Amino acid sequence: MKTVKELLRNHWIFIAIECFGVFLGLYQLYNLPAEMWGDATAHYALAQNVRHGYLFYNYAYGGDGPIYTYLVVFVSFFLGLSFYTLKFTSVLEYLLFIFFMYTLTSTLFKKKEIAYIASFLSAVSFWSLTFARQPHARMLVPLFVAITMYYAVKKKTVLTGIFLGLGMYTQASFWAMPLVFWKRYKILAIGILITIPLIISFATNGVGFFTNQSYFGEKLAVTDHYTTAQIVQNLASNISANFFSFFLKGDEGFRLNVPNSPHLDAITALFLFFGFILLIKDAIQKKQMKYIEFIILPFLLVQIPSLLDVHNPQAQPNIGRMIGVIPFVYIMSAYGITTIWQTISNNFTNQKTKKIIFYGSILYLLCIITFVNFYKYFVIYPYFLPDHNTPFARIIAQNMDTYSSKTLFYVIGSNWSEWGQPEQQAIVDSTTVNHTINFLQTQTPSPALCNIIQNTHIQTVFVTSPTDTNSLQELTTCNKKTHTYILQTNSFQIARVIEVQ
């Protein structure tokens, strides 16, 4: 059995990469992203239900399977259930992903240089980071893709089938993976066997898997009566959007991407292109068909779920639905970087010069890649989040927590700021004190507010939009003393707080 000293000596480069991943995953995790929103509150509720004994195994919210929820619950036993716990769970998945990227790539190529670069790209790329720090199930997709492919390369049929089946319980972006094993009947049989409960849940769902009300059927536009020409045109548009998302124009959404920016930095994208060509060339010339089976074909097939959204071609490219390809993207980029610089360095006869050119050039490229992706995520990305990543709900909740647990709160309205924040449930989930919080309509008849404070004998606090002066005027006519102040952060007015004494 290897000692710790031997492990450090033999694997210190990978350990350093993994430690760097720990830093990137946890750095500013509490504050970026800072605000809870619909996906986060939904996963919070699912975890809360499981903690109270309400177990489930199906897709509770269309695209997200149950595995993420159970992982969150496990982590919550140590850290408690919170928005941070949701994100921390994704960070753990990301760290496992880096590990399996290293093992997969080293097993596939038997070259540590390619494995180091692939795992390094897995750690530093914006595409990894943005999902590694999200309260969402999608980081499980590349993790289970990498694990499944690792055991497939190792020719472990049973384990491959088990993780293929379990992967179907992660997120809808994984659903094309069975196509990768269309010739491996034993793997498919094991995977399908594990997926049977999920298939039954889809079959017995009242909505129906292929109706336009379902997550999948709505994207296939099964009831929209598109012509064949329209379907082909939309599919072609999706294929084009996916292709150019690596290089020119990516997802326009602000939640997971810097709007419209490519999903890869320019250097990684360039070597992805070279790596794709070189792998096909070497597969043919060197009779390495495993490159086609385990890299090229999966890269193409895993994109199918994102391509099938013929109902919303304008929503392409989608950085989330494409996430299953990133293991193959990083492997191809790493192969391109290694092969090209190996070819260039071989033009020099001096062995020392060869090493300097090869390792020096690669190190220089990786430093640039790191800086570009770090700057994109930690500097540019927060600017495009609602109110420049100012968490309205959390700030309101923190202010509530300064009051006694006996204080009665009324929140008048919601969604008064950018992109619908603060959300009501986010306020509730962000509190750490067990408050009684009630929500009222934005337009409340004048007598209603007076009735509320007249029928209670405990401290009452109203929280409303900072521009809402009507509620303040109504409360001042109720023959009660009031004290009001504005919550402000980052030059933003968060909310108006009205204390009734």
Say yes or no: 410 and 325 in one domain: no
Residue 307's pLDDT is what?
A: 86
Where the chain has pLDDT below 70, the residues are 1-2, 62, 206-225, 443-447
Would 487 be classed as within a structural domain? Answer: yes
Say yes or no: 250 and 397 in one domain: no
How many C-beta atoms surround the C-beta of residue 5 within 10 A? Answer: 8
Residue 152's pLDDT is what?
A: 97
Say yes or no: 96 and 127 in one domain: yes
Cα-Cα-Cα-Cα dihedral of 314, 318, 324, 330, to 10°? 120
Q: What is the 3-state secondary structure (H, E, C) of 434-451?
A: CCEEEEECCCCCHHHHHH
Eight-class DSSP state of 251: -
Overall domain count for the chain: 2
Instruction: Return the structure tokens found at 146.
Output: 């990498």
**In Å, how far are 4, 29, 152, 268, 382 from 256, measured between CA atoms?**
39, 15, 31, 19, 10
Say yes or no: 64 and 98 in one domain: yes
Q: How far is CA 9 from the centre of its chain?
A: 34
Would 281 be classed as within a structural domain? Answer: yes
Say yes or no: 452 and 307 in one domain: no
Would 16 be classed as within a structural domain? Answer: no
pTM of the model: 0.93
Phi and psi of 486, rounded to 5°? Answer: -105, 130
Residue 277's pLDDT is what?
A: 97
Would 357 be classed as within a structural domain? Answer: yes
Q: Which of 153, 142, 220, 227 is nearest to 177 (CA)?
A: 142
Is the C-alpha dihedral spanning 59, 136, 297, 229 positive or negative?
positive
Say yes or no: 420 and 347 in one domain: no
How many CA atoms lie less than 13 Å away from 33 in the CB half-sphere?
31
Residue 253 one-letter amino acid: G
**Residue 58: exposure state from Cβ atoms within 10 A (0-12, 13-18, ≥19):** middle
Say yes or no: 277 and 344 in one domain: yes
pLDDT single digits (tens) 3-39: 777 777 788 999 999 999 999 999 999 999 999 999 9
Alpha-carbon span 325 to 334, nearest angstrom: 14
Strands (DSSP E) along 285-391, which ranges? none
Element (H or E) spanning 239, and its range? helix 228-245
- 202-237 core/surface letters (b: 16 or more CB in 10 A; e: else): beeeeeeeeeeebebbbbbbbeeebeeeeeeebeee
Rounded to the nearest 10 degrees, what angle do helices 157-167 and 185-204 cross at? 20
pLDDT single digits (tens) 59-107: 877 689 999 999 999 999 999 999 999 999 999 999 999 999 999 999 9
Say yes or no: 421 and 277 in one domain: no
Q: How far is CA 259 from the centre of its chain?
A: 16
Question: Token match 């929103």: residue?
Answer: 37
Cβ-defined contacts of 394-398 (< 8 Å, 24+) = 394/34, 394/35, 394/36, 394/83, 394/426, 394/430, 395/487, 395/489, 395/494, 395/495, 396/422, 396/427, 396/430, 396/463, 396/487, 396/494, 396/495, 397/427, 397/428, 397/430, 397/431, 397/432, 398/430
Residue 219's pLDDT is what?
A: 56
Would 33 be classed as within a structural domain? Answer: no
33 preceded by a cis bond (ω within 30 of 0): yes
Edge-first strand listing for the sheet containing 436-440: 436-440, 408-412, 460-464, 492-500, 482-489
Is the C-alpha dihedral spanning 97, 103, 105, 107 positive or negative?
negative
Domain that holds residue 198: 46-384
Residue 81's pLDDT is what?
A: 96
Cβ–Cβ < 8 Å for 15, 8: yes
Residue 154's pLDDT is what?
A: 96
Cβ–Cβ < 8 Å for 144, 178: no
- Residue that terminates a domain, selected from 325, 360, 384: 384
Cβ–Cβ < 8 Å for 11, 69: no
- Residue that terminates a domain, selected from 349, 384, 419: 384
Residue 206's pLDDT is what?
A: 54
Alpha-carbon span 298 to 303, nearest angstrom: 8
Say yes or no: 231 and 378 in one domain: yes
Would 178 be classed as within a structural domain? Answer: yes
- Residue that terminates a domain, selected from 330, 364, 384: 384
Say yes or no: 105 and 158 in one domain: yes
Would 13 be classed as within a structural domain? Answer: no
How many C-beta atoms surround the C-beta of residue 364 within 10 A? Answer: 10
Say yes or no: 396 and 374 in one domain: no
Cβ–Cβ < 8 Å for 10, 98: no
Would 216 be classed as within a structural domain? Answer: yes
Is the C-alpha dihedral spanning 88, 76, 18, 143 positive or negative?
negative
List the Cα angle 380/137/62 in 5-degree steps. Answer: 115
Alpha-carbon span 88 to 135, nearest angstrom: 8
Q: List CB contacts of 20: < 8 A, sequence separation 6 or more.
A: 120, 123, 124
Alpha-carbon span 312 to 315, nearest angstrom: 5
Q: List CB contacts of 412: < 8 A, sequence separation 6 or more.
A: 440, 441, 442, 444, 462, 463, 464, 465, 468, 471
Say yes or no: 370 and 417 in one domain: no
**In Å, how far are 339, 347, 356, 364 from 350, measured between CA atoms?**
19, 9, 10, 21
